[in-house]
Amino acid sequence: MRIQSIAVYAADLTYTGKAYAFAGGRSHQVFTSTVVVLTTDTGLEGYGEVCPCGPNYMAAFSEGIPSCLSLLAPSVIGEDPTHTTCIHECMDQALTGHAVAKAAIDIACWDLLGKHAGLPVYALLGGLLSPSMPLHRNVPLAKPDEMEESLRQFRSEGFRRIQIKLGHSVEEDIDLVRTLSKIKHADEIWMCDINRAWRQDEAVRFSRALEDLEIYLEQPCYSYEECLSVRRRIRHPVKLDESLNSLADAQRALRDEAMDAMALKVSRVGGLTPSRIIRDVCVDAGIAMTIEDAWGSGIATAAYAHLAASTPVKALLTTTDLHNYNTSQLATGAPEVSFGRMTLSDRPGLGVAPDLEKLTLLHVYE
């Protein structure tokens, strides 16, 4: 089986809330998603999707991905998509870096591998180990009463893992979390996420002021070194996110004992091929993981959900249902969500298909 053509599509996804806001004045309402369709000489099609969370969150932006794909597509046409590591070598020869663009093709190749084998992708990633996956919901940065309202709403929908976005002054954030903690249930896991906005002294002050609360502190400072310094001085477990962009980053964090948990975003590290390795290394090291992505619709959700479903229960801190963060869907067959948990079908591949009527065709490479 060989890749015969690659079609590149795009579509806008609108957030269901007022605005998706986090620290540093960053706020977004609309996200541009890129979907690729790989067609093979056997007639099978594979689907991939990537969607950066705005242009100022990670080292990728939606408008640049089609340009990257113009270089990547010719490098893999004619190759066997079931040989995922070989596909990555071809892409690395064609373009240095730009893991997010490479992830679109990689995810589509895994979809094809599953369809070719007649198996769901989770079976190829280790088997169905977490058939019912715990979800978290993000409480976007807003006025305290609005954040409390969001928290209560998510709890009523069955969510017991909550990510609270911070970004007021440190004193205000301390007061906010202290106030919200009055309604925290014992069975809930809270992750206080500042998205790199604090100095070291601010992160330490926040943690020490709330030492009596059971919370995770997520990516408190901009650099890896700053986060490591903070972790060595506080009681709360530290979850790294933006500092981890590769297997080498994860290995370094393990060597330095820099984290208690991590966010593994599939597109940020280049797709399922490198994500599977990072996942397995962290499982072996006893590190809890949130397996997710930056943004996306049903295809992106399905991709990381298959990785999460094939992760041991004890290692899966949480995942999320990004396709339900949008007012519209770009694909059918997305994972099902019920009372704060997510399940997958046993359809071959990723089990999803794009709704081409909602996508704009940008280019076809043959």
358 is known as an active-site residue: no
Report how far residue 81's alpha carbon sits from residue 79's, in angstroms, rounded to the nearest whole number. 6
Burial class (CB in 10 A: 0-12, 13-18, 19+), 186: exposed
Are 18 and 28 in contact by the 8 Å Cβ rule? The answer is no
Max CA-CA distance within the chain? Answer: 61
Burial class (CB in 10 A: 0-12, 13-18, 19+), 334: buried
Residues 6 or more apart whose Cβ sits within 8 Å of residue 182:
none
Catalytic residue among 165, 182, 184, 314: 165
Mark out the alpha helices in the chain (DSSP H runs): 65-76, 84-94, 99-117, 121-124, 144-156, 170-181, 200-209, 224-231, 247-256, 272-285, 298-309
18 is known as an active-site residue: no
Distance of CA 45 to the CA centre of its chain: 24
Report how far residue 220's alpha carbon sits from residue 229's, in angstroms, rounded to the nearest whole number. 11
Catalytic residue among 102, 115, 239, 265: 265
Strands 316-318 and 331-332: unpaired
Identity at 320, one-letter amino acid code: T
Two tokens, residue 312: 């041991």
Report how far residue 293's alpha carbon sits from residue 310's, in angstroms, rounded to the nearest whole number. 16
Cβ atoms within 10 A of the Cβ of 25, count? 10
In three-state secondary structure terms, 283 is helix
Enumerate the active-site residues.
Answer: 165, 265
